[in-house]
Amino acid sequence: MTESKSGWRHVSIQKTGRVALVRYDREDGVNALSLQGIRELTEAAEWIRADHDIFSVALVGSERAFSAGRDLKDPEMDARRNAPLLHRRYAAGAGARLCKAWEDLEQFTACGIEGFAIGGGLALAVSLDYRIAGKSAHFRAPEAALGLSMSWGSIPRIVNLVGPARAKQILIHANARIDAEAALSWGLIQDIVADGDTAAAAIRAAEKAAEIPPVAARMIKRAVNAYANALSDAVVHMDTDQVMLAESGYDHLEAVDAFLAKREATFTGS
């Protein structure tokens, strides 16, 4: 039996048996994460958490892209730039709350990645349990090139997957694309399938997890996460504030302006 849930602008949930398929699609080709989209995906995770009949979840983007990351042109974010610091800080923490909500789900989570997962899209993907990419998919973490530190609580998650040396390579070589084969060999993803097949593959991975007694599966997931993330809070408790600090610098403003104008940026350390 299939049951659908919607009501959000960019997110839909379809339940088939004990598996939920969550799709994020802005129908814009790049699937950037606006504040509206981030809220909807966070609410979707909270809704799934409360449904004890869901044993596992598959999260996918559009047919062309998982996500290009934070929407730098989001008018809602622009409207908040002159708000009080407390309001701006809450808005800046939206991505971290999103990834934490998905990481903390007791259900097994699989992610199907078409096209690319960039920046915040990569941060969301690594907060799930299992990642499957299309053969032509690529990954990138451009934050450092934009004058920012990687945030959303993602640095410990990336280190846990690929180790410290590869994590620094991914994050500091910020403009370098990582293709699916490299991502697989590094441990950033767990499987590669033909382009266009990632949603079906993520559903299969979720169905396989749903065959396991759910209490045992949830206890195992929680134990693994507790061990892997034992020091995570100590590492990332300030990452939202670090991003806000970096956003106040000249290099970030120059990087964003150069990105939008499609020109070379000049950085001064300011």
β-bridge pairing 2-5 and 11-16:
antiparallel
Beta bridge pairs of residue 58: 21, 110
Contact by Cβ (8 Å): 48, 57: yes
Contact by Cβ (8 Å): 189, 183: yes
Spell 69-78 as b/e; 16+ CB within 10 A means b: bbbeebeebe
Mean pLDDT of 191-215: 98
More confident residue, 184 or 253: 184
Residue 231 has pLDDT above 80, yes or no: yes
CA distances (Å), origin 220, targets 51, 129, 141, 214, 225: 19, 12, 30, 10, 9
What pLDDT score does 1 carry? 56
| Sheet bearing 138-140, strands edge to edge | 116-118, 138-140, 178-179
With vertex at residue 148, the alpha carbon angle to CA 146 and CA 150, rounded to the nearest 5 degrees, is 115
Q: How confident is the model at residue 197 (pLDDT cuts 50, 70, 90)?
A: very high
Q: How many residues can be counted in the chain?
A: 270
Give 44-92 pLDDT, tens digit per residue: 999 999 999 999 999 999 999 999 998 878 888 776 677 888 888 888 8
What pLDDT score does 265 carry? 87
Of the listed ranges 94-103, 145-154, 208-217, 252-261, the least confidently predicted one is: 252-261
Neighbouring residues of 204: CB distance < 8 A, sequence distance ≥ 6: none
What pLDDT score does 5 carry? 72
Question: Model pTM?
Answer: 0.93
- Report the topology of domain 2-261: 2-enoyl-CoA Hydratase; Chain A, domain 1 (3.90.226)
Closest CA to 244 of 125, 59, 119, 81: 81
Mean pLDDT of 97-126: 98
Residue 200 has pLDDT above 90, yes or no: yes
- Which of 143-152, 198-207, 245-254 has maximum average pLDDT? 198-207
Supply the mean pLDDT for the chain: 93
Domain boundaries, given as residue ranges, for the chain? 2-261
